[in-house]
Structure 1
Amino acid sequence: MLTGITSADLITVASGGLVGFILALIGGGGSVLAVPLLVYVVGVRSPHVAIGTSAIAVAISALANMLSHWAAGHVRWACALVFSAAGIGGAFAGSSVAKQIDGQQLLVLFGVLMIVIGVLMSRGRAGGGDPTIRLTMATAKAMLPKLIGTGFGVGVLAGFFGIGGGFLIVPGLILATGMPLTYAIGSSLVAVFAFGASTAASYALSGLIDWRLAGFFIGGGLAGGLIGIGAGKLIGTHDKALRAVFSAVVVIVGLYVCARGVMVFLS
């Protein structure tokens, strides 16, 4: 019996499932929907609690999805760990600043970010790259500055907005290392987990996580991730149309979030 399970809990599971599905299917971008889903669909009143709760949920979903990519040999650990280590500091810095900002103002900024993300995702990501690339003593001189700099910058954004940042991590890894898209997606999930966990830790210390909602959101995310992995195998190379549709949805939701935030200030 599902005693004690409410309609809000089921909506939370469905919302988490959508985020996990998108995260597994296209390797980033899905987490940006977590906060608006929690605020406008689930009904979380505090934007700060929504950000903290989404951060832990996104981190766990990314970890689960990363394990499957690792099993397939698509994680370049040295590159991913350096990128993640640099970004953890950025995530703590970003989340510390965000907690000092008014919740409605934060939502407007979040909406603007969503619009930017949607536009960037609509441009797609190039394939190719060197599948043999590794972070070694020979390549460190060229790679390390790019990995550290990009990792810290993406970490700040991830911490500030409570997102995984996969939409920025993937191109950042490709830019810094020249690895193929498949390896960048797998490696990005290591950083998504690290950034999400860091942001969640910062919000948890301030009591800004709804653990019950997080549990349901994570459960939905894990199930959605499994479905997303299977769907990705079926879709194969025919994912351009899907990415275009998702980019448009992100932009539309971003505009809605901005409009709602502005209406609050004008009322």
Structure 2
Amino acid sequence: MDPTLLHHLLAMLCGSAVGFSLALIGGGGSILAVPLLLYVVGLRDPHVAIGTSALAVAANAFANLIPHARAGNVRWPAAFMFAATGVLGAFLGSSLGKIIDGHHLLVLFALLMMVIAALMLRGRRGHDGTGYPRRYMFPRLGIVGLGAGSLSGFFGIGGGFLIVPGLVFASGMGMIDAIGTSLFCVGAFAFTAAVNYAVSGWVAWPVALEFIAGGIVGGWLGMLGAQNLSRKRGALSILFAAIVVAVALFMLVKSVLR
């Protein structure tokens, strides 16, 4: 097969996996996109991989938001509050992340993922939405959104693996609603980081467009899976944590062996 054609196919297939993950668990966009861009598609600069993934994840998150919104899985007031403070954090975090060595970012990113996975597994029995809305929900959402946005921008990610647990803990909404709501926030955070990286020339535009095209297809399939898993108590939380741990371990191994 023509190497150029293979490169395009790999980019679209990887984009499909990212879109599927975003729609299924509201996260995993950039935690999958960054290693896929580096180790499968073949981008060499971690900063370019981060910038490209941020742009692709933003577009796919907004596209995958549509079916979740139609299914009633989006809590719009919470989404707007979380995103408003998170975008500010994403800008500040991405500005700091650009001046730090890209390989160091990947190691810190993987370690943070392990912590988030542990927190999600620990509290999975309370993720049924019976606590929504939590007392002082909007101030809590604002504070958590600022923190999640800062980390999202710092690591150049959409931040779904931060946003989903953040929405659950701050508002008490159920996992399926947190997944749907998170897509709006993921899109806003990732777009902010993508613009910041694009200004520095760290976006591979052709690869990003191929990722986006593949992600739209994968996203519709992920939405169907999320609806089915939401009927099984704790299933989405366990799946979310398992995917985060698997990718974190992979990234740590690759970083140590590089």
TM-score in same-fold range (> 0.5)? yes
Q: How does 1:71-150 map to 2 (within 5 A)?
A: 71-123=70-122, 124=124, 126-129=127-130, 133=133, 142-150=136-144
Instruction: Could you tell me which runs of 5 or more consecutive residues in structure 2 were left unpaired when the two chains were aligned.
Output: none
Q: Which residue of 1 aligns with 2:158?
A: 164
Change (3 A) 1:108 1:171: closer
Q: Distance in 1 between matches of 2:142 and 2:62?
A: 21
Q: Distance in 2 between matches of 1:153 and 1:240?
A: 25
Q: Distance in 1 between matches of 2:67 and 2:11?
A: 24
Confirm or deny that 1:189 pairs with 2:183.
yes
* Distance apart, 1:239 and its partner CA: 8.0
Q: Which residue of 2 aligns with 1:21?
A: 20
Q: Which moved more, 1:242-251 or 1:59-68?
A: 242-251
Task: Look up the equivalent residue of 1:253 and give its one-letter code.
Answer: V
Q: Is the 8 A contact 1:55 1:162 kept in 2?
A: yes
Confirm or deny that 1:231 pairs with 2:225.
yes
* Distance apart, 1:89 and its partner CA: 0.8
Instruction: Deviation per CA, 1:71-97: give whole Å up to 9, x if none.
Output: 223322222111101000110111111
Q: Is the 8 A contact 2:76 2:181 kept in 1?
A: yes
2:231 aligned counterpart, secondary structure: coil
Q: Distance in 1 between matches of 2:13 and 2:237?
A: 21
Give aligned-pair identity as a percent: 51
1:6 aligned counterpart, secondary structure: helix
In the superposition, the TM-score normalised over structure 2's length comes to: 0.88
Q: Which residue of 2 aligns with 1:211?
A: 205
2:44 aligned counterpart, secondary structure: coil
* Distance apart, 1:102 and its partner CA: 1.1
Task: Look up the equivalent residue of 1:177 and give its one-letter code.
Answer: S
Q: Is the 8 A contact 2:51 2:202 kept in 1?
A: yes
Task: Look up the equivalent residue of 2:10 and give its one-letter code.
Answer: I
Task: Look up the equivalent residue of 1:83 and give its one-letter code.
Answer: F
* Distance apart, 1:5 and its partner CA: 5.5
* Distance apart, 1:70 and its partner CA: 1.6
* Distance apart, 1:52 and its partner CA: 0.5
Change (3 A) 1:5 1:103: same
Change (3 A) 1:81 1:129: same
Q: Distance in 1 between matches of 2:211 and 2:32?
A: 12
* Distance apart, 1:105 and its partner CA: 1.4
Q: Distance in 2 between matches of 1:260 and 1:196?
A: 24
In the superposition, the TM-score normalised over structure 1's length comes to: 0.85
Q: Is the 8 A contact 2:28 2:160 kept in 1?
A: yes
Q: Distance in 2 between matches of 1:242 and 1:151?
A: 22
Change (3 A) 1:202 1:126: same
Q: Is the 8 A contact 1:162 1:199 kept in 2?
A: yes
Q: Distance in 1 between matches of 2:201 and 2:73?
A: 36
Change (3 A) 1:97 1:177: same
Q: Distance in 2 between matches of 1:143 and 1:243?
A: 21
Q: Which moved more, 1:209-218 or 1:253-262?
A: 253-262
Q: Which residue of 1 aligns with 2:54?
A: 55
